[in-house]
Amino acid sequence: MVHILSEQKSIFNQYVAELRDISIQKDSMRFRRNLERIGEIMSYEISKTFDYQTQETTTPLGVAATSHLTSQPVIATILRAGLPMHIGVLNYFDKAENAFISAYRRHHKDNTFDIHVEYVSSPNLDGKTLILCDPMIATGGSIVLAYKAILAKGTPKHVHIVSAISSREGIDFVRANMPTKNFTIWCGAIDEELTAHSYIVPGLGDAGDLAFGEKI
């Protein structure tokens, strides 16, 4: 299932618009904060799909019946661009375990590239809910490779993929190639064009560079 949050009328759309705006992008702190806020809103929506149990909570004046998560998710992020969204998700699921995946595009002289996963740090994932953050799904290759790599740490019961901007081609690739049927995609917006160099149009540019500075 794919949820596209920009199809609903909410303040969420302002944050997506600011991510795209070339003038607002000059403020890297605001860019990071907007990714963080998008992660927070998506976390709230994802939380509606979780299981809860009723517990008694003692107040200064009595006892209240309150609802609590039956289990905490694991939040995983593809470095480095995913870090601000990761913080946003962690702000809401503040008791969650965390995982990090180092992946990058290795470009060749013929303008093609391969995606390589270098490093995975993760708790055991068996039977847990995994929230996998990547602000942009262009080709979809990074998400699929990252998930395959993290399977070395166990098999989640369900995966929530969180992305601010995705291409239609990337979403189709993920849906066709994820090695599990138990996943849900949450997108801020889906753009129809992907260039020959695998950049989303209109997209927003390079999320990692905009958040943390250009890399050499």
User: Within its chain, how far is the Cα of 92 from the centroid?
Assistant: 14
Q: Are 81 and 207 in contact (CB under 8 A)?
A: yes
pLDDT value, residue 214: 87
Question: CA nearest 99: which of 117, 74, 69?
Answer: 74
C-alpha span between 145 and 48 (Å, rounded): 28
Q: Are 113 and 142 in contact (CB under 8 A)?
A: no
Q: In angstroms, what CA-CA distances link 196 with 51, 201, 206, 212?
A: 43, 11, 16, 25
Angle between helices 141-150 and 168-177 (to 10 degrees): 30
Q: How many domains does the chain divide into? A: 1
| Domain limits for position 49 | 2-212
pLDDT value, residue 109: 63
What is the DSSP code string of 10-67? STHHHHHHHHH-TTGGG-HHHHHHHHHHHHHHHHHHHHTTS-EEEEEEEETTEEEEEE
**Which stretches of the chain score pLDDT less than 70?**
104-115
CATH code of the domain covering residue 123: 3.40.50.2020
* Total residue length of the chain: 216
pLDDT value, residue 152: 92
- The pTM of this model reads 0.91
pLDDT value, residue 114: 64
pLDDT value, residue 67: 96
Q: Are 77 and 86 in contact (CB under 8 A)?
A: yes
C-alpha span between 69 and 51 (Å, rounded): 6
